[in-house]
Amino acid sequence: MDNLQKAFSVAAPSIIAELKKRSMEGYYFETCSEMVEKILSMLPENASVAWGGSESFKKCGMLSALQAGSYQLIDRALAKTAEEKREIYGRSVMADAYFMSSNAMTYDGQLINIDGSGNRLACLMHGPKEVYVIVGMNKFVRSVEAGIERTRNLASPANVQRLNYKTPCHETGLCADCLSPGCICSHLVITRRSMIPGRIKVFMVAENLGY
Ligand code: SF4
């Protein structure tokens, strides 16, 4: 472990305690493989599983582990038409487990996320029985304001590059508070707590994941 990882590891117990106050569960791992192994041990066989767009979810090996397991995967990438996509979104809302990352997270246990269409955040807020949030240590910030700054000037411009949308931040790398057709910043959601205790589970790992 390098010193950044060590600093994160000693902060992890207090983050988990803060999450508990907010009726969310927190888990800490030194490596992605340990995290994936733990999540697989928590997921019932044959569970229906959906996920939102997330580089962290893929990079940590979670998607490939689910694909190799005995689960009912609800994969929107398989939709061929707009109607099929809509039907898959409907099934995602009813999933046993929904996977996502968070654009930022505070040390006191709040999640900060921004979405274009809002399907991912709709599932975070309501619908799937359980939500599994995978968060690399690079996503942690000291305040909600710092989290919003991170989403607008780091996560969203990087996502726009991935999606190749024509927005001001695609050209400059910085948020121009746009309202352009390709804008991926329609919904800004701060998750302060879970109404259903334990429904939202946060898996923190001392590795850099996503952006
Ligand atoms: S320029 Fe538009 S799309 Fe880019 S980060 Fe700002 S609001 Fe989001």
CATH code assigned at 23:
3.40.50.10420
In a domain, 13, yes or no: yes
What is the reported pLDDT for 101?
97
Does any domain span residue 26?
yes
Per-residue pLDDT, 138: 97
Q: Cβ of 123: how many Cβ atoms within 10 Å?
A: 22
Paired tokens of 20:
């508990």
Q: What is the pLDDT of residue 57?
A: 96
Residue indicated by tokens 């690079």: 138
**Is there a domain that residue 42 lies in?**
yes
Instruction: Please give the residue range of the domain that contains residue 42.
Output: 3-140+190-205
Please name every residue paired with 112 in a beta bridge, in sequence order, or none if there are none. 104, 190
| 104-106 vs 111-115, strand pairing mode | antiparallel
What is the pTM for the complete model shown?
0.96
- Report the number of distinct structural domains present in the chain: 1
| Ligand 1 atom at minimum distance from 184 CA | 3
Q: Are 137 and 205 in contact (CB under 8 A)?
A: yes
In a domain, residue 165? The reply is no
Output the pLDDT for position 3. Answer: 96
d(CA 156, CA 2): 28
Residue 200 CA to ligand 1 centre (angstroms): 27
Ligand 1 contact via 184 beta carbon (within 6 Å): yes
> What's the pLDDT score for residue 178?
97
174 lies in some domain: no
Residue nearest to atom 8 of ligand 1 (CA): 185
Residue 90 lies in a domain: yes
Cβ of 50 closer than 6 Å to ligand 1, yes or no, is no
In a domain, 180, yes or no: no
* Cα atoms found within 13 Å of the Cα of residue 67, Cβ hemisphere only: 8
CA separation for the pair 58, 65 (Å, rounded): 10
The stretches in the chain having pLDDT less than 50 are none
Q: Which residue has the tokens 């269409």?
A: 117
Alpha-carbon distance 95 to 47, whole Å?
8
Half-sphere exposure (Cβ direction) of 17: Cα atoms closer than 13 Å: 5
Taking CA atoms only, the protein residue closest to ligand 1 atom 3 is 183
Q: Is the CB of 156 under 6 A from ligand 1?
A: yes
